[in-house]
Structure 1
Amino acid sequence: MSTLEEHVDVSVPLDRAWEGLHRIEDYPRFVAGVRDARAEQAGRTHLDIEAGGRSREIEAEVSDRREQHVVEWRTTGAPDLAGSFSLQPIDDGHTRVQARVEYDPGALRDAFGGPRGFAQATAIERLVRSDLEHFKDCVEQGR
């Protein structure tokens, strides 16, 4: 498994950033490739994704550790992905959003295509960084 960690500082209080992460239906606004997202029963989330010219439906289990301001998730089928978002207050009006993604590069390539090796890692890093920047824009604009 490979691990990627990225963060972005947002100009909103921690509670507002937390709420933004929990509006699953808004994920298509800031997560590249997500065409539809919905929360389901028992901490499950359903995502319709298009990446590398391929469409997939992905189910994930999501759990909150609200007292630590952490959301953890794991796909329930292929591709095997896991990760977390942790929020850290910087001050009353600013929050750091830390994203951590664990993935199997081969399984991800099999599922969605794309480059191999270092090029794949670089592409995933750019994608996660871009998604965090889009989240920042959405949550700061109140969308």
Structure 2
Amino acid sequence: MTTLEEQIDVTTPVGRTWEQLHRVADYPRFVAGLRHAAAHGRNRARLDVEIGGVRRSFVAELTDHGRGRVMTWQTVDGVHLKGTFALRPLDETHTQVQLRLEYDPETLRDDLGGGPVGFAQSHTIEEAVRTDLALFKELVEHR
């Protein structure tokens, strides 16, 4: 299992950042390859992705950890991914968004088809996550 940790500071209060993180339908606005996302029951989301011309759908289970402003998500079918978002207020108008992503490179490549391997794959995923966080920052700051 490979673990990637990234963070970004946003110029919004922690409460507003938390609310945006829970707007599942907005995920395609900041997650590369995600074409459609919708709530699917109380704690699940249906996600439709397209990567390298290959379309896949899967369901992710979302778990809030309350006042700590931590949300964990894990796919329950298809692509095997697990992530945790943790929000830390820096002051009244600034929040640090921390993301921890856990994935198996071989399984990810098999589930989504093709693409780079080894270091190139890790670099590609790191760049995608950094871009996703930058897009999230733009979205939450300009909403």
Q: Which residue of 2 aligns with 1:69?
A: 69
State the TM-score, normalized to the length of structure 1.
0.97
SS of 2:59 mapped into structure 1: strand
Question: 5+ unaligned residues in a row in structure 2: which ranges?
Answer: none
Question: 5+ unaligned residues in a row in structure 1: which ranges?
Answer: none
SS of 2:89 mapped into structure 1: strand
Q: Which residue of 1 aligns with 2:27?
A: 27
Q: Deviations over 1:27-78 (max 9, x none)?
A: 0111111110001113011000001221000101101012110000110023
State the TM-score, normalized to the length of structure 2.
0.97
SS of 1:110 mapped into structure 2: helix
Quote the RMSD (CA, aligned, Å). Answer: 0.7
Structure 1: which 4+ aligned runs deviate by more than 3 Å? none
CA distance in 2, matches of 1:52, 1:71: 28
Listed as ranges, the matches of 1:1-143 within 5 Å are 1-112=1-112, 113-142=114-143
SS of 2:25 mapped into structure 1: helix
CA distance in 2, matches of 1:97, 1:21: 10
CA distance in 2, matches of 1:59, 1:107: 17
SS of 2:15 mapped into structure 1: helix
Count of aligned positions = 142
Contact 2:65 2:71 in 1 (8 A): yes
